[in-house]
């Protein structure tokens, strides 16, 4: 199962995907400047390529991500003013 959703915010439009894997969902929200991803995100790999990446954990669907707070972020994300513990709804406008 694959679900796609467009998220419209003041700063633009983000694309969200929810893909059923073996036992859990892979969830990704992508903006022009960066992305938010579920626990499958390898922050070390994202950091190596200087991605603006935000990790959230304990989520099962796109709506859960939108209600969550950042668990971890890359250095590139910090440079844009994104930090762990920040609500995802605030981060959306930064990466849109």
pLDDT at 11: 77
Q: Which residue range(s) make up the domain with 87?
A: 2-95
SS3 75: helix
Task: Tell me if 41 sits within 8 A of 53, measured CB to CB.
Answer: yes
Q: State how many domains the chain has.
A: 1
CATH number at 41 reads 3.30.1980.10
Q: What's residue 14's pLDDT?
A: 98
Task: Write out the chain's pLDDT in tens, 96 residues.
Answer: 899 999 999 879 999 999 999 999 999 999 999 999 999 999 999 999 999 999 999 999 999 999 999 999 999 999 999 999 999 999 999 999
Provide long-range contacts, Cβ within 8 A and 24+ apart, for 9-14.
Answer: 9/92, 9/93, 9/96, 10/93, 11/92, 11/93, 11/94, 11/96, 12/96, 13/96, 14/92, 14/95, 14/96
């Amino acid at each position: 199962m694959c679900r796609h959703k467009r998220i419209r915010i003041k700063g633009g439009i983000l694309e969200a995907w929810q893909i059923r894997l073996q036992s859990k969902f892979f969830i990704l929200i992508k903006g022009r400047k960066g992305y938010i991803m579920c626990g499958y995100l390898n922050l070390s790999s994202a950091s190596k390529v200087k991605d603006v990446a935000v990790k959230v954990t304990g989520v099962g669907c796109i709506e859960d991500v939108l209600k969550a707070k950042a668990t971890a972020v890359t250095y590139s994300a910090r440079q844009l003013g994104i930090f762990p513990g920040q609500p995802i709804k605030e981060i959306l406008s930064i990466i849109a």
